[in-house]
Amino acid sequence: MGISTEDIVKYFPIKNSYKYVDAILSANDYSIIGSYRFKEEEFFYKGHFPGYPVTPGAILTESAVQIGLLAFGMYLLGNGHIELSNVHNDLFGNQLQAIPAIGAISSIDHSDLPPDIDPSILSNRFFLTSTDMTFKRVVLPGEQIIVEAEKVFFKLNKLKTRVTVKTPGDDVISTGVISGFVINVTEWKVGW
């Protein structure tokens, strides 16, 4: 069975008010589709821009990253399609020593995970490494976006996807390529 699209949202490691994922509509070995509706009371609309609120490009990119990297990575790892590689800690220095596992910081009850899911999956941490996004239109408060991400590759713990952010009516808002790196902090050993 593995991790479902509902499980991804339920166990998503980013919480409100910085979570920009409402639903994962579909996922498979090659792609993922998710959605988010920007609420009129989002914290950033007061200052971006007073009298004419629009969703910042950085927030649209963050939603694409949350769906196209984090949620997609959760799906691929949670269903055993990809295994993490052992990566030497020289890539990060001491930066990872202070990162707690989800279980240490979350009130989520992991006892209801599907039986074939290893609970250590919830200790994966994704780090954004690069984005290259092009914007074609603004997103106003109350609008919904659909993020479609297609896997370019996932190897040596790096996931790279081609993303398209659209309206439900298929108007393209943004396109680009995003990349990120994942490690499981419960298996991280200092001094490898």
CATH of the domain at 139: 3.10.129.10
Nearest to 4 by CA among 123, 114, 159, 125: 114
36 vs 127, which has greater pLDDT? 36
Mean predicted lDDT score pLDDT of the chain? 85
| Residue 190: inside a domain | no
| Residue 88: inside a domain | yes
pTM of the model: 0.85
Structural domain count, the chain: 1
pLDDT in tens, 58-73: 999 999 999 999 999 9
Q: Please check whether residue 162 is in contact with residue 177, taking contact to mean a CB–CB distance below 8 angstroms.
A: yes
pLDDT at 90 over 60: no
With tokens 């006892």, the residue in question is: 111
pLDDT at 110 over 90: no
148 vs 16, which has greater pLDDT? 148
Mean pLDDT of 174-187: 86
Read off the amino acid at residue 123: S
pLDDT in tens, 25-48: 999 999 999 999 999 999 999 999
Using the CB atoms, write b or e for 72-81: b if 16+ within 10 Å: bbbbbbbbee
Residues of the domain holding 22? 5-184
